[in-house]
DNA sequence: GAGTTTGAAACT
DNA sequence: CAGTTTCAAACTC
C-alpha cells in the first residue's frame, strides 16, 4: 500500500493522470486487446481473459502510473507512441470537449444523443454536441476520437477534432441506435462489438458488428450474469468506440479510409484501448478517490479500485469475476460495480454515456484532474436532477472500467469484497472514510444506475439527495450529487489523501467539506463521547473512526473493538434500530414507470425512519436529518413549518390521504387516527417500523414522492406483503422509510397490523416476514418488496447481497421489481434479470437497506429490500394499493393476517443494523463493522 | 477559525 | 412518556 502510494502519490492527479494517459496510450494495448479478444473468444466470459489482462494491467499499473488504461491501449495494437501522440494531440481537443461536455452536460442525455447524431453531420459542432449528447459519452467519445485522430493521424490534425467530434457524434448515434435496437441487449452487443473491434474486426462493416453484437447480446443476455452486464458496460463503451470508429470510417473516414485504411481499424482498436486506459485511469483516480493527490496509496487504491474493479472485472475479466462476483456482489453496490451491474442492463444507454463520461473524465484526468472533477460534478448534478442518472452512470461506468482495470491490475480483486472494503478502510486509513467514500461513491453510482433504470426506485433521487447521506447529498439532486462528487473529489483530492494518506486527515477533512467525506461518510469530530455514542457518525454508521476523523479520545477503533461492541450492544438494547439506517427507501412505488422515467422514484419514496423534529430550520438545512438525507419529511416527522424541498410532511400526509381514500383505508384504525399519530405511534416504536417516511417526498420532493406512492400503491397489487416487507427492508430502524411508511399506511389502512406491529413487530420482524414471504410469498401480495434502497446500504448491501446470493443485485432489484410487478417474489428477486434490472436501482437501495439494516437473516433471505442509502433515503415506499385496499376494505382481513404473519416472522429477526445510515455513506464499513460484531 | 445555532441523542 | 441536558454537526461571522 504504502509503496504504491509513494510511487503514485507524488503526482496524484495531474501528473498521475498524465503519466497514466501516456502510459495508457503506450502500454494499454495489451490489456485492451486481451480483454476484448477474450470477449470475442467467448462472448460472455470476457472476464477471464480480461482478468488476465487486467492482472497484467495491474502489474503495470502498480509500477508505473496507473496506467491500466495505457496497457490496454497498447494492446489495441497501436503503437504506443502514436497513442501518446494522439493523447497529446487530443488533449487540446479533449479540453475543448470536456468544456463542451461540461457546458452541455446540462443538456439532457436524450438531447445529447440527438445532438450527437446530428453532430455527425456537423463535424465542427460535434465536439460540442458530443459533450452535450451524453456527457460521459461525449467525453468518452471525444477522447477516443481524439486518439483516433491522433492515431490515425489520419491525415489532418485539424480534422482530428472534427473527426473526433464526428466519431463521437457517430458513436453517440450508433450508441443510440444500438440502444434502441438492442435495448437491454445493448450492453452485450456493445461488448461484443468492442471485442470484435479490438480484435481488429472493427474493419468489418458496422452492420456486421451490429448483427454480431446482437447475437452476442443474445448470448450475453442468456448469461444474464452481472458480469455480462459489467462487461457490457465496458464493451458498450468499446462498442461505442467501434461504432464511432466505424462511423468515422464510413462517414468521415470514408474518404479518409484510404489514408487511414488500416489506420481506421487501428484507430478503432486504439480507441477502445485508449478508452479503456482512460477509464481504467479514471477508475484508478476515482478509486484513489480523490486521491488524486495520493494517487496511489496502493492499499486504498486497491481497496477502492478492487471493489470497483471487481465488479467490472467480474464483468470483463472472467478470472476476477469469480471472486469478483462474490466480491462484486458485495462491493458492487458500494462502488461503481453496483452501478455497473445494476445499471448495465437498464442503463445501456446511460452506461454508454457514463462510459463516455468516464472516458472523458479519464482523459480529463489525464489531462486535467480538475476536468474530471468538473465532469463528475456536472455529472452528478445532472444525475441528481433527474437525468442525472445518465451522468452518474457514466461516471459509474467509467469507474467500472477503471476499477476493473485497477482491480485486475491490483490483483487484489480476488480478495473478498468485504476484505477489500475493510482493507480499503484500513488502508485508506480512514477506514470509515474510505468505506464511506466508497459507499458514497457506490451509492452515488448506484443511484445513478438506479435512476437510469428508470429511476426505478427513484433511488437516484434519494441517492442524489443522499449524496452524503442519502446519496446522498445534502440537498436534492444537486445536493446528492454534489456530496458524492464532493466525496469523490474530496476523497481523490483531499479525502482521498486522507483515506490513503492518513498522514493529513485533518487537512483533508477540511478540504473535503466538513465532516463528511466526499463520499458522504462523515468524519466525526467527537470530543466527549469518545465516539461511542450515536452522536458519533462513525459509530452510528457502524464503522470505525479513521484518521480523517478529528475525534478526541476515540474508542471507536479496531483496537477497542470489544468496547465498541459492548457499547453498541447497549445502545441496541435500548433501541434495536439505533444502528439501522436512518433513511429507508420505500419500495419503489412504481418502479417501472419511474424507472423508465428515469429517476427519482427511489429518492422520492425514501424516508427517514424516525423523522425529523425540526422547529427552526424548517427542514431546509442539514440540521434536518430528512433534508440531510435528501429525503422528504413524512408523517413520522414532528417538524414544524416543514418546507423540506424533498417533500413536505404535508404533502406526504396528503398523499397518504389520497391513498387512503383510494384504498378505502379509512376504515382502519389508522383512519380514525391522524396519520401522523398513527405513524408516529406505530412507526416511532422502535420495534415497529420507524416512523413513516412517506414515499412522496422524493428528490422531487415530496409531492412527487407522494404521488409516486399513490401511484405505486395503486399499481401495487398487494400492498400488504409489500408493506410489511418494505418495512422490513427499510429496516427496523426507520419507520420513516417509505417502506415503513407504506407499511404503516397499509397497516393503518388495514387497521391492522399496526397494532400487531406495535405489539412487538419490528423492522427486523418485517424483514423476517419478508423472508417468510419469500419462502411463502403471498400470491396476492406482492410480497413485499420492499423496495427500499439506500445508497449506503449499497456497500453493505453489496456485501450482504453477495452473501445472500450471488444475484445480490438482482435480488435487490428483484425485490423492488417484485414489488411492483409481483410482490410475491420478494425472496426470489434475484431470479429475474428483468426484475433485477428494473429494480437494480431500487434494488440497490433495498439491498442497501436490507444489507445494512437487515440482519444476516434478511440477507440470507435474499430480501429484495434495499436499504436506502443514508444519503438518499428516498427509498420508495411500497404502497400496496391492494394491500391497502384489502386492508382497508377488508381491513382486518388478509392484510392483517399478512401482517400478523409478518409479526411472527419479525421476532425471529435479529435487530437489523442496516447499512443505510442516514449519511448513507459508510454502509460498507458498517456492514463490515456489523458483520464483525455479529461474528463476535 | 471561533462562536452560534440546531436538533438528535442521551439522560432524568 | 415527557422534559431536560448533552453532544456534535451545521451554520454563521
DSSP secondary structure string, A226-287? Answer: HHHHHHHHHHHHHHHHHHHHHHIIIIIHHHHHHHHTHHHHHHHHHHHHHHHHHHHHHHHHHH
The nucleotide lying nearest A624 (C-alpha to C1') is B7
| Three-state DSSP state, A424 | helix
CB-based contact A542:A565 (threshold 8 Å): no
Handedness of CA A646, A647, A648, A649 (dihedral sign): negative
Residue A34 C-alpha cell reads as 486481451
What pLDDT does residue A661 have? 65
> Which residue bears the cell 462502488?
A335
Q: How far is the CA of A798 from the C1' of C9 (A)?
A: 29
pLDDT band at residue A219 using 50, 70 and 90 as cut-offs: very low
The nucleotide lying nearest A570 (C-alpha to C1') is B10
Count Cβ atoms within 10 A of the Cβ of residue A581 and give its class: 0-12 exposed, 13-18 middle, 19 or more buried.
Answer: buried
**Dist. CA A192–CA A350, nearest whole Å:** 18
What are the Cα distances from residue A82, in Å, to A85, A151, A400, A647, A772?
A: 5, 5, 26, 54, 60
What pLDDT does residue A656 have? 67
**Dist. CA A106–CA A343, nearest whole Å:** 21
Pairing of strands A471-472, A583-584: unpaired
The residue with greater pLDDT, A57 or A631, is: A631
> Which residue bears the cell 413487530?
A761
Under 8 Å CB-to-CB from A633, ≥6 apart: which residues?
A608, A611, A612, A619, A624, A626, A639, A642, A644, A646, A647, A648, A649, A652, A694, A697, A702
Strand C close to A517 by CB, under 7 A: no
CB-based contact A524:A509 (threshold 8 Å): no
Phi, psi of A190 (to 5 degrees): -60, -45
**Dist. CA A136–CA A273, nearest whole Å:** 17
| Three-state DSSP state, A459 | helix
| Three-state DSSP state, A560 | helix
What are the residue ranges of helices labelled H in A761-832? 763-775, 791-804, 808-820
Mean pLDDT value across residues A594-604: 39
Question: What is the C-alpha radius of gyration for chain A, rounded to an integer number of angstroms?
Answer: 24
The residue with greater pLDDT, A582 or A689, is: A582
Strand B: which positions are within 7 A of a protein CB? 1, 5-10
Strand C close to A626 by CB, under 7 A: no
What pLDDT does residue A565 have? 87
Using one digit for the tens of pLDDT, what is the confidence trace for A703-753?
A: 333 333 333 333 333 333 333 333 333 333 333 333 333 333 333 333 333
pLDDT value at A584 more than 60: yes
**Dist. CA A25–CA A73, nearest whole Å:** 5
CB-based contact A7:A381 (threshold 8 Å): no
Q: How far is the CA of A522 from the C1' of B3 (A)?
A: 22
Ramachandran area for residue A62 (φ above 0: left; ψ -120 to 50: alpha; else beta): alpha
pLDDT band at residue A522 using 50, 70 and 90 as cut-offs: low
pLDDT band at residue A659 using 50, 70 and 90 as cut-offs: low
- Angle A216-A217-A221 from CA coordinates, rounded to 5°: 120
| Three-state DSSP state, A472 | strand
**Dist. CA A751–CA A51, nearest whole Å:** 55
What pLDDT does residue A354 have? 38
CB-based contact A416:A334 (threshold 8 Å): no
**Dist. CA A461–CA A599, nearest whole Å:** 6
**Dist. CA A241–CA A263, nearest whole Å:** 14
Using one digit for the tens of pLDDT, what is the confidence trace for A662-675?
A: 654 444 433 333 33
CB-based contact A869:A848 (threshold 8 Å): yes
Q: How far is the CA of A918 from the C1' of C5 (A)?
A: 24
Residue A295 C-alpha cell reads as 494517487
Number of H helices, E strands in chain A: 49, 4
Q: How far is the CA of A529 from the C1' of B11 (A)?
A: 14
CB-based contact A606:A629 (threshold 8 Å): yes
Element (H, E) at A583: strand A583-584
**Dist. CA A73–CA A84, nearest whole Å:** 10
What pLDDT does residue A647 have? 84
Q: How far is the CA of A514 from the C1' of C10 (A)?
A: 9
Strand C close to A622 by CB, under 7 A: yes
Strand C: which positions are within 7 A of a protein CB? 6-11
Q: Give residues 426-485 of chain A lying near strand C (Cβ < 7 A).
A: 468, 474
Q: How far is the CA of A466 from the C1' of C10 (A)?
A: 16
Mean pLDDT value across residues A378-403: 32
Element (H, E) at A607: strand A607-608
What pLDDT does residue A541 have? 85
Using one digit for the tens of pLDDT, what is the confidence trace for A144-171?
A: 333 333 333 333 343 434 434 434 443 4
**Dist. CA A145–CA A127, nearest whole Å:** 10
Closest-CA residue to A808 (of A42, A227, A47): A227
Q: How would DSSP label each residue in A147-208? A: HHIIIIITS-HHHHHHHHHHHHHHHHHHHHHHHHHHGGGHHHHHHHHHHHHHHTGGGS-HHH
Q: How far is the CA of A536 from the C1' of C12 (A)?
A: 23
CB-based contact A217:A225 (threshold 8 Å): no
Count Cβ atoms within 10 A of the Cβ of residue A205 and give its class: 0-12 exposed, 13-18 middle, 19 or more buried.
Answer: exposed
CB-based contact A693:A642 (threshold 8 Å): no
**Dist. CA A669–CA A746, nearest whole Å:** 11
Residue A601 C-alpha cell reads as 422514484
Residue A307 C-alpha cell reads as 471493489
**Dist. CA A607–CA A746, nearest whole Å:** 16
pLDDT value at A643 more than 80: yes
Burial annotation A590-607 (CB, 10 A radius, 16+ → b, else e) = bbbbbbbbbbbbbbbbbb
Phi, psi of A522 (to 5 degrees): -100, 140
CB-based contact A90:A48 (threshold 8 Å): no
Q: Which of A9-13, A228-232, A400-404, A781-785 has the highest mean pLDDT?
A: A228-232
CB-based contact A921:A468 (threshold 8 Å): yes
Residue A75 C-alpha cell reads as 494492446
Q: How far is the CA of A336 from the C1' of C8 (A)?
A: 31
Using one digit for the tens of pLDDT, what is the confidence trace for A228-287?
A: 444 444 444 444 434 444 444 434 433 333 333 333 334 333 433 333 333 333 333 344
Residue A645 C-alpha cell reads as 424541498
Strand C close to A567 by CB, under 7 A: no
Lowest mean pLDDT among A101-110, A316-325, A508-517, A597-606: A316-325
The nucleotide lying nearest A510 (C-alpha to C1') is B1
Residue A52 C-alpha cell reads as 488476465
Give strand pairing partners of A632: A607
Q: Give residues 185-204 of chain A lying near strand C (Cβ < 7 A).
A: none
What pLDDT does residue A663 have? 54
CA atoms within 13 A on the CB side of A658: 21
| Three-state DSSP state, A811 | helix
CB-based contact A101:A130 (threshold 8 Å): yes
Give me the count of residues in chain A: 936
pLDDT value at A612 more than 80: yes
What pLDDT does residue A575 have? 84
Strand C close to A918 by CB, under 7 A: no
Element (H, E) at A86: helix A80-105
**Dist. CA A187–CA A239, nearest whole Å:** 9
| Three-state DSSP state, A501 | coil
> Which residue bears the cell 384489502?
A886
Q: How would DSSP label each residue in A883-909? A: HHHHHHHTTIIIIIHHHHHHHHHHHHS
Residue A657 C-alpha cell reads as 390521504
What pLDDT does residue A585 have? 67
Using one digit for the tens of pLDDT, what is the confidence trace for A791-823?
A: 333 333 333 333 333 333 333 333 333 333 333
Pairing of strands A607-608, A471-472: unpaired
| Average pLDDT across chain A, whole number | 43
Using one digit for the tens of pLDDT, what is the confidence trace for A7-55?
A: 333 333 333 333 333 333 333 333 333 444 444 344 333 333 333 333 3
Amino acid at each position: 500500500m504504502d509503496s504504491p502510494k509513494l510511487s503514485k502519490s507524488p503526482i496524484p492527479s495531474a501528473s498521475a493522470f498524465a503519466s497514466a494517459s501516456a502510459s495508457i496510450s503506450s502500454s494499454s494495448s495489451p490489456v485492451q486487446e486481451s480483454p476484448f479478444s477474450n470477449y470475442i473468444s467467448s462472448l460472455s466470459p470476457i472476464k477471464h481473459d480480461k482478468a488476465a489482462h487486467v492482472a497484467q494491467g495491474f502489474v503495470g499499473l502498480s509500477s508505473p502510473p496507473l496506467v491500466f488504461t495505457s496497457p490496454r491501449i497498447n494492446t489495441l495494437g497501436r503503437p504506443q507512441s502514436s497513442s501518446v501522440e494522439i493523447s497529446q494531440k487530443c488533449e487540446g481537443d479533449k479540453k475543448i470537449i470536456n468544456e463542451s461536455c461540461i457546458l452541455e452536460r446540462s443538456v439532457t442525455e436524450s438531447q445529447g444523443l440527438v445532438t450527437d447524431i446530428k453532430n455527425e453531420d456537423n463535424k465542427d459542432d460535434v465536439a460540442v454536441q458530443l459533450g452535450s449528447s451524453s456527457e460521459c459519452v461525449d467525453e468518452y467519445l471525444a477522447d477516443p476520437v481524439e486518439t483516433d485522430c491522433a492515431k490515425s493521424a489520419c491525415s489532418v490534425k485539424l480534422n482530428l477534432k472534427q473527426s473526433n467530434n464526428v466519431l463521437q457524434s457517430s458513436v453517440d448515434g450508433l450508441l443510440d441506435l444500438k440502444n434502441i435496437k438492442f435495448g437491454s441487449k445493448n450492453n452485450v452487443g456493445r461488448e461484443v462489438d468492442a471485442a470484435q473491434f479490438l480484435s481488429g474486426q472493427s474493419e468489418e462493416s458496422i452492420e456486421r458488428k451490429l448483427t454480431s453484437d446482437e447475437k452476442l447480446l443474445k448470448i450475453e443476455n442468456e448469461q444474464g450474469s452481472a458480469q455480462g452486464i459489467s462487461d457490457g458496460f465496458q464493451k458498450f463503451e468499446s462498442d461505442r468506440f467501434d461504432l464511432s470508429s466505424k462511423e468515422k470510417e464510413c462517414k468521415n473516414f470514408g474518404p479518409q479510409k484510404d489514408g487511414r485504411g488500416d489506420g481506421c481499424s487501428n484507430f478503432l482498436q486504439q480507441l477502445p484501448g485508449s478508452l479503456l486506459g482512460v477509464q481504467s485511469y479514471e477508475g484508478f483516480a476515482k478509486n484513489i478517490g480523490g486521491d488524486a493527490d495520493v494517487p496511489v496509496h496502493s492499499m486504498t487504491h486497491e481497496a477502492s479500485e478492487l471493489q470497483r474493479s471487481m465488479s467490472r472485472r467480474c464483468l470483463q475479466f472472467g478470472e476476477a469475476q469469480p471472486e469478483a462476483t462474490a466480491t462484486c456482489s458485495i462491493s458492487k453496490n458500494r462502488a461503481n460495480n453496483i452501478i455497473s451491474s445494476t445499471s448495465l442492463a437498464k442503463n445501456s444507454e446511460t452506461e454508454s454515456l457514463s462510459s463516455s463520461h468516464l472516458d472523458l473524465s479519464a482523459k480529463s484526468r489525464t489531462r486535467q484532474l480538475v476536468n474530471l472533477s468538473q465532469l463528475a460534478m456536472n455529472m452528478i448534478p445532472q444525475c441528481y436532477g433527474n437525468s442525472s442518472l445518465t451522468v452518474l452512470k457514466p461516471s459509474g461506468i467509467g469507474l467500472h472500467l477503471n476499477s476493473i482495470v485497477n482491480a485486475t491490475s491490483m490483483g487484489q480483486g480476488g480478495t473478498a469484497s468485504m476484505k477489500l472494503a475493510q482493507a480499503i478502510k484500513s488502508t485508506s486509513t480512514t477506514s470509515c472514510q474510505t468505506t464511506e467514500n466508497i459507499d458514497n461513491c457506490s451509492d452515488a453510482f448506484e443511484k445513478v444506475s438506479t435512476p437510469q433504470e428508470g429511476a426505478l426506485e427513484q433511488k437516484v433521487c434519494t441517492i442524489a439527495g443522499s449524496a452524503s447521506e442519502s446519496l446522498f447529498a445534502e440537498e436534492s439532486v444537486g445536493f446528492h450529487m454534489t456530496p458524492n462528487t464532493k466525496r469523490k473529489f474530496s476523497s481523490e483530492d483531499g479525502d482521498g489523501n486522507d483515506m490513503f494518506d492518513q498522514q493529513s486527515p485533518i487537512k483533508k477533512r477540511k478540504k473535503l467539506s466538513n465532516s463528511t467525506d466526499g463520499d458522504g461518510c462523515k468524519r466525526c469530530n467527537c470530543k466527549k463521547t469518545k465516539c461511542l455514542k450515536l452522536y458519533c457518525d462513525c459509530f452510528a454508521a457502524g464503522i470505525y473512526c479513521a484518521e480523517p476523523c478529528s475525534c478526541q479520545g476515540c474508542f471507536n477503533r479496531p483496537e477497542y473493538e470489544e468496547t465498541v461492541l459492548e457499547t453498541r450492544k447497549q445502545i441496541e438494547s435500548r433501541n434495536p434500530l439505533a444502528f439501522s439506517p436512518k433513511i429507508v427507501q420505500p419500495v419503489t412505488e412504481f418502479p417501472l414507470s419511474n424507472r423508465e422515467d428515469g429517476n427519482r422514484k427511489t429518492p422520492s419514496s425514501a424516508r427517514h425512519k424516525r423523522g425529523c423534529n425540526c422547529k427552526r430550520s424548517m427542514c431546509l438545512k442539514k440540521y434536518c436529518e430528512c433534508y440531510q438525507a435528501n429525503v422528504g419529511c413524512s408523517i413520522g416527522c414532528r417538524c414544524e413549518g416543514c418546507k423540506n424541498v424533498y417533500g413536505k410532511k404535508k404533502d406526504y400526509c396528503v398523499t397518504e390521504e389520497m391513498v387512503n381514500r383510494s384504498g378505502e383505508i379509512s376504515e382502519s384504525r389508522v383512519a380514525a387516527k391522524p396519520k401522523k399519530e398513527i405513524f408516529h405511534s406505530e412507526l416511532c416504536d422502535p420495534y415497529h417500523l420507524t416512523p413513516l417516511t412517506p414515499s412522496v417526498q422524493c428528490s422531487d420532493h415530496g409531492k412527487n414522492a407522494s404521488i409516486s406512492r399513490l401511484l405505486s400503491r395503486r399499481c401495487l397489487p398487494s400492498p400488504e406483503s409489500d408493506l410489511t416487507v418494505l418495512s422490513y427492508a427499510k429496516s427496523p430502524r426507520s419507520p420513516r422509510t417509505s417502506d415503513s411508511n407504506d407499511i404503516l399506511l397499509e397497516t393503518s389502512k388495514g387497521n391492522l397490523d399496526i397494532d400487531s406491529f406495535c405489539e412487538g413487530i419490528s423492522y427486523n420482524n418485517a424483514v423476517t416476514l419478508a423472508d417468510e414471504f419469500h419462502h411463502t410469498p403471498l400470491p396476492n401480495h406482492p410480497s413485499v418488496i420492499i423496495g427500499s434502497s439506500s445508497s449506503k446500504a449499497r456497500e453493505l448491501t453489496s456485501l450482504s447481497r453477495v452473501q445472500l446470493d450471488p444475484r445480490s443485485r438482482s435480488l435487490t432489484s428483484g425485490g423492488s421489481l417484485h414489488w411492483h410487478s409481483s410482490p410475491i417474489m420478494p425472496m426470489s428477486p434475484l431470479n429475474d434479470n428483468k426484475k433485477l434490472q428494473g429494480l437494480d436501482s431500487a434494488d440497490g437501495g433495498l439491498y442497501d437497506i436490507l444489507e445494512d439494516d437487515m440482519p444476516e437473516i434478511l440477507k440470507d433471505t435474499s430480501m429484495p429490500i434495499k436499504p436506502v442509502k443514508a444519503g438518499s433515503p428516498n427509498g420508495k415506499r411500497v404502497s400496496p394499493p391492494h394491500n391497502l385496499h384489502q386492508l382497508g376494505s377488508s381491513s382486518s382481513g388478509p392484510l392483517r393476517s399478512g401482517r400478523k404473519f409478518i409479526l411472527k416472522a419479525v421476532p425471529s429477526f435479529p435487530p437489523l443494523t442496516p447499512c443505510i445510515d442516514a449519511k448513507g455513506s459508510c454502509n460498507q464499513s458498517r456492514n463490515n463493522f456489523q458483520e464483525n460484531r455479529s461474528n463476535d
